Amino acid sequence: MLSGWRYRILVGSVVCSALAYLVVSLWGGWAAVSMAVSRVGWWEGGQIVGLVLLGYGLRFLRWQVYLNALRHPLPWWPSLKIYLAGFALTTTPGKAGEALRGVLLKRWDVPYPHSFAALFSERLSDLLAMVALALFGLSAHPEWLSMIVACLVLLACCVLLVSRPALVSAIDRQMGQRSGWLPRVLRHVVQVLHQSRSCHTPRRQIGATLLSLLAWGLEALAFYWILDAMGSDVPLAFAMFIYAVSMLAGALSFMPGGLGSAEAVMVALLVSGGVALPDAIAATVLLRLATLWMAVGLGAVMLAYSKQ
């Protein structure tokens, strides 16, 4: 479990990541960011944070749906602490560090294949929601079509594996006849896929997709509110497109938390939409502080609380 030097390294990595991001923000023009904060104001800023927190709540509700589907109905408060603690490692490539929840769920006798199945189902639902949000402005920006198609192909492959147990069982049999680290890893993946089936019944899939669309749509709306408060004339549909495409680009880059790649795409699209470069940088940093880094901070607090 998280104790001793492992725990100190974990907390230290979170702090170092936050400091690194702060340095990047300063390098990108902290004066513009400070001015943007003053232009947004406390009232609008509070509303933006409220939207983001509501999105976290919807994603937690989806997490509870998946745990119940896997027959692990945890009480809401311990489950919420575990869920939020996973945000502490959101800045890992592909959010893989959120698998920390699996370690914390072991205290509640949740096997790793089950907790990883819930995590896999979350990522699948997130991908579907982001692709759907990206469709809002795709017709005006066809240059992003190839990335959307790649995401759809990945999504289709994952759905095929989850919905075809015979195919997964065939892979399992093939791996059972081989030795080495790769077949061993694939056998664990097969176990996760088997468990994921219960999370993807038609009714649960519809409910989870709606929760995902609402949750990520709220963050996209928060982005729009930031731009609007700064006086940028960006339509809501275009803001949602920018947000979704940037998050997809960040995820596909496999950079920790999408750092760098997501921001670069977001700034470039804002500038192409007529937003001044200083305002584009400021709005992007504000959004990431209100979403990614608020999640990391909240997760670090909950991780320390879970340690107790």
pLDDT tens sequence for the chain (308 residues) = 555 566 566 666 665 665 665 566 556 556 666 777 788 888 888 999 999 999 999 999 999 999 999 999 999 999 999 999 888 877 665 566 677 888 889 889 999 999 999 999 999 999 999 999 999 888 888 889 999 999 999 999 999 889 888 888 887 777 767 777 777 888 888 889 989 999 999 999 999 999 999 999 999 999 999 999 988 889 999 999 999 999 998 888 766 555 678 888 999 999 999 998 888 888 888 898 888 888 888 888 887 776 55
The Cα angle at residue 48 between residues 63 and 50, in degrees rounded to 5: 50
Q: Quick one: tokens of 165?
A: 């147990």
Instruction: Single out the residue of 78, 56, 53 nearest to residue 67, CA to CA.
Output: 78
Contact 257, 292 (CB under 8 A): yes
How many structural domains compose the chain?
A: 1
CA distances from 40 to 10, 55, 56, 237, 268 (A): 34, 20, 22, 21, 21
Provide the domain limits for residue 202. Answer: 4-307
**Length of the chain, please?**
308
> What predicted TM-score, i.e. pTM, was given to this entire model?
0.88
The contacts of residue 17 (CB under 8 Å, 6+ apart) are 91, 256, 257, 296
Instruction: Say if residues 161 and 167 touch (Cβ distance below 8 Å).
Output: yes
Helices (H), ranges, 70-144 = 76-85, 100-105, 112-134
> What are the C-alpha distances in Å from 5 to residues 2, 46, 86, 296?
9, 37, 19, 20
